Amino acid sequence: MHDFCLSIPYGLMLVGGGLLGYIKKGSIASLGGGAASGLVLIIAGYLSLNAFGKRKNSYLALILETVCAAILTSVMGQRYVETSKFMPAGLVAGISALMTLFYLYKLATGGNHLPTKAE
């Protein structure tokens, strides 16, 4: 599986969660954090998708995705430990931890596997 296949939906989920937090609780922090991290992931996924279309790997995109997911894991994991509330902190920390592992795997294995030329 390619990183952009998960990064773009993951980013959209974060943007949606930030908007939902703002709508339900009026939380500006939720809106800012969700929108900022989600947009970074969507942009990184888009960069990776474009590079893949050119038969290249975008290590910049993979590094951005990894750092963003790791930061979210740390911040939301800490918030979960402090509040013991699964929604949203535990959920976001769990998904972000899985995404961090996925991105680290992609980095360790050389990025997206590019298709061979059909001749």
42-72, pLDDT tens digit by residue? Answer: 999 999 999 999 999 999 999 999 999 999 9
* Residue where the block lists tokens 């990025």: 111
Average pLDDT, the chain: 94
Domain ranges of the chain: 1-56, 57-109
Say what the pTM is.
Answer: 0.91
**Residue 111 in 3-state DSSP?**
coil
Q: Would you state the pLDDT for residue 117?
A: 67
Q: Which two tokens stand for residue 14?
A: 């974060």
- Cα 50 from Cα 119, distance rounded (Å): 22
Q: Any residues with CB less than 8 A from the CB of 45 and at least 6 apart, and which?
A: 3, 4, 7, 8, 10, 11, 61, 65
Residues in the chain predicted with pLDDT less than 50, given as ranges, are 119
Name the amino acid, one letter, at 69.
A
